[in-house]
Amino acid sequence: MLEVEDLHAYYGKSHILHGVTFHVAEGEIVSLLGRNGAGRTTTIKTIMGEVRPAGTIRLRGARIDGLKSHEIARKGLGYVPENRDIFPTLTVRENLLLGMKSAKYAKAKPRWSMEDMLELFPRLRERAEAPGGVLSGGEQQMLTICRTLMGDPDLIMVDEPTEGLAPMLVQLVRDLLERIAGRGVAILLIEQKLTIAMAISHRLYVMGQGRIVFEGTPRDLTDNEAVRKEWLEV
């Protein structure tokens, strides 16, 4: 589904990513772990076209490196940013509508509909006509995920979806990610809460200093105390 090979990225003269290589298979949940500053967010921003890439990025075998963000989205890649980026003056319903692809790019039978979103989160139905800016942080997070799903992506990249959320909402996000994968959507997850990543991921990558330093299953990481101590634990 997604193949990243020898990816480099820069902010000005600062070299942030140093030859990052990984892949995500169809329907797979893959977590990208690491301490703050390891390069995880830069990685997905580069894949999404927000940072100029050097290297090769393929989605379903076709190169997308060098394309603009909206062109990448039309090809089936969704992005849920850490800062949510909702439109605060537009209603919940309008925010969701903005996530939809135009008829020119939409599939004949999309996986998700407006009704699906409102059924998944009854609170969004209750506040469908309220401005996005009056929603709580947890509600805004749900709105951002649902808006991305309205674009019917084949793969979504989700950056720190449980950051700052109450435990009940954390469980809700976890359940939603598993439901998304259950409909055949692959997920690339950045998540600070190791317990969630370990519970729902098929595979894990650990980043450190702009490089991939570990690849394996959750069980592999559990058994590798050296990697956890050097690259994850505080």
The sheet carrying 203-208 orders its strands as 77-80, 155-159, 186-190, 29-33, 203-208, 211-216
Q: What is the pLDDT of residue 51?
A: 92
Q: What is the pLDDT of residue 168?
A: 81
Q: What is the pLDDT of residue 105?
A: 66
* Helix, strand or coil, per DSSP, at residue 161: coil
Q: What is the pLDDT of residue 104?
A: 67
Q: What is the pLDDT of residue 169?
A: 81
pLDDT digits 0-9 by tens, 21-34: 999 999 899 999 99
Q: What is the pLDDT of residue 179?
A: 87
Nearest by Cα to 150 from 115, 104, 121:
115
pLDDT digits 0-9 by tens, 98-117: 888 776 666 767 778 888 88
Measure the CA dihedral 206/211/213/216, to 10°: 50
Domain ranges of the chain: 2-231
Give the separation between CA 213 and CA 181, rounded to whole angstroms.
Answer: 26
* Helix, strand or coil, per DSSP, at residue 187: strand
> DSSP code of 207?
E
Q: What is the pLDDT of residue 70?
A: 92
Architecture field, domain 2-231: 3-Layer(aba) Sandwich (3.40)
Q: What is the pLDDT of residue 106?
A: 65
57 and 4 in contact (C-beta within 8 Å)?
yes
Q: Which stretches in the chain have pLDDT values below 70? A: 103-106, 108, 234
Q: What is the pLDDT of residue 208?
A: 94
Q: What is the pLDDT of residue 50?
A: 92
Q: What is the pTM of this model?
A: 0.91
Give the separation between CA 139 and CA 121, rounded to whole angstroms.
Answer: 9
